[in-house]
Amino acid sequence: MITYSETQLHQELLKLLKSLQFEQVEIILNEHVKPANIIRTLHQVTELGAGIMTYTFVNYILTKTETPFWHRVAACVISESIEHVQEGNNAGLYHILKAIQLAPEDWLLKEYALSFYEDGILEEEMAVIFAKEVLLKEPFNKLALKITDKSI
């Protein structure tokens, strides 16, 4: 098995994404990147020049296996890593709502969804519902408190 420095890993992923070798990207991510670091790794590769190809790759993964994890990755990539894409935040909201639909018990997904309310694209009614659920797990969550205080 090949070992990579972080820089080499990013360069290899960039090269593979640009050449549409998504199967190889998936293999490398599975072998060399912990799930907790996938978003950060893909964000860095996006900034190196992969651009929209990172989001395209994540959608490739979603067509193979639709999971809350990969919808969250898609939301982060489209709304944070390539935020300049027109309607990227709406695409990010779509993905986080799909993740919540697939894992309704995951309050952290709902917490992430609250950032879309701050951006003005998550409806207040849904934001209040999510904020209340977040506060059950994290009673001092500043964003959730701000949203529930505003709705009173």
CB 117 within 8 A of CB 129: no
Same domain membership, residue 90 and residue 120: no
By C-alpha distance, which of 24, 54, 25 is closest to 39? 54
Quote the pLDDT of residue 148: 93
Same domain membership, residue 134 and residue 122: yes
| Rounded Cα distance, 142 and 94, in Å | 24
Digit-coded pLDDT (tens) for 46-104: 999 999 999 999 999 999 999 999 999 999 999 988 878 888 899 999 999 999 999 99
CB 89 within 8 A of CB 95: no
pTM (predicted TM-score): 0.90
Domain boundaries, position 31:
1-104
Same domain membership, residue 75 and residue 14: yes
pLDDT confidence of 151, banded at 50, 70, 90?
low
By C-alpha distance, which of 55, 106, 108 is closest to 80? 55
| Rounded Cα distance, 58 and 61, in Å | 5
Same domain membership, residue 78 and residue 35: yes
Same domain membership, residue 54 and residue 123: no
Q: Which amino acid is at 49?
A: G
End-to-end CA distance of the chain: 57
For the chain, the domain total comes to 2
Same domain membership, residue 62 and residue 2: yes
The number of residues making up the chain comes to 152
Q: Give me the chain's average pLDDT, please.
A: 94
Same domain membership, residue 116 and residue 47: no
Digit-coded pLDDT (tens) for 91-147: 999 999 999 999 999 999 999 999 999 889 999 999 999 999 999 999 999 999 999
Quote the pLDDT of residue 1: 66
CB 128 within 8 A of CB 147: yes
CB 135 within 8 A of CB 145: yes
What secondary structure letter does DSSP report for 140?
A: T
